[in-house]
Chains A and B, each alone.
Chain A
Amino acid sequence: MGVVTLNHYILLASVLFGIGAVGFVTRRNAIILFMSVELMLNAVNLMLVAFSRFKADMAGQVMVLFVYAVAAAEVAVGLAILIALFRHVRGVDINRFNLLKH
């Protein structure tokens, strides 16, 4: 197992990002899509904090705080859009969100 290095954290964050991306592409439930985006943002945060730790540069941790603010804004607006869409199509399956087609 050895000492935990930056490479371990890079691997972990990449795997989490990949899981989130696969969830975003393959799932059809809009709420799970949102949560997959959150997972990808968290993977990026982990990468930032890991680099900040192993490069001894605290700017990475400040960046994570900004990512938190952007994620909060994204969720607030995204879930509001989701509720507005739900009023129209009575569902959260993204295959039914095709208003612009018709």
Chain B
Amino acid sequence: MDIYFWFFAVVAVASSLFLVLAKDPLPGALGLLTTFISLAALYLHLHAPLVAIFQITIYAGAILVLVVFVIMLLMTPDEELGVQQYNISYKTLGAIAGVAMTALLVIGVKGIACIVGEKALPSDFGQPGLIGKLLYSDFLLHFEVVSVLLLVALVGAIYISKRNL
């Protein structure tokens, strides 16, 4: 199963780099789609089939379609990317800061991982039914709050895009 991890890890990193370096948003969106799908494959490797399915339906299905739709709405030929974005010093500084932040993140999270320690996996781990039970028992309050959040976002999105602000 090692080659499985390495294949999808390399694909995820390469396609996310493609997104960040893309000149146009649309090829960038396709790079992001590839990242989403390879992350879904990695979720399967991590015994999380329900999360993998949601990754495909919500991210690759709903969110990315919305983004591509907005690209279609907004991208007129005149709106090519401006001259200002090829500021090489910004990019160099950003890359240095990104590498430093990644290193800090790895060190910090590895420290947490050492503290918690690993456990053996039960045989029914990751079953969707168990996630459902958890969602409606321990996380019931969170579930309700998230439903209110989605309602507020729905109303807000309609209001913002409708009015002549």
Contact = CB atoms under 8 A, between A and B. Distances in A.
Contacts of B113: 6-7, 10, 51, 54
A42 B165 contact: no
Interface string A31-49: 1101110110010011101
A21 B153 contact: no
A48 to B, nearest CB: 9
Contact of A35 (B2, B9, B67, B73): B67
- Which of B13, B25, B79, B121 has the most chain A CB atoms inside 10 A of its CB? B25
A16 B35 CA distance: 9
Given A14-B106, A18-B98, A84-B160, A56 B120 contact: yes
B28 to A, nearest CB: 5
A82 B74 contact: yes
- Which of A34, A39, A74 has the most chain B CB atoms inside 10 A of its CB? A39
A70 B146 contact: yes
A14 B79 contact: no
Interface string B44-74: 0111101100110011001100110011011
B97 A14 contact: no
A61 B48 contact: yes
B13 A69 contact: no
A4 B84 CA distance: 42
Interface of B: 1-3, 5-6, 9, 12-13, 16-17, 19-20, 22, 25, 28-29, 32, 35-36, 39, 42-43, 45-48, 50-51, 54-55, 58-59, 62-63, 66-67, 70-71, 73-75, 78-79, 81-82, 84-85, 90-91, 94-95, 97-99, 101-102, 105-106, 109-110, 113, 116-122, 125-126, 130-131, 134-135, 138-139, 142, 146, 149-150, 152-154, 156-158, 160-161, 163-165
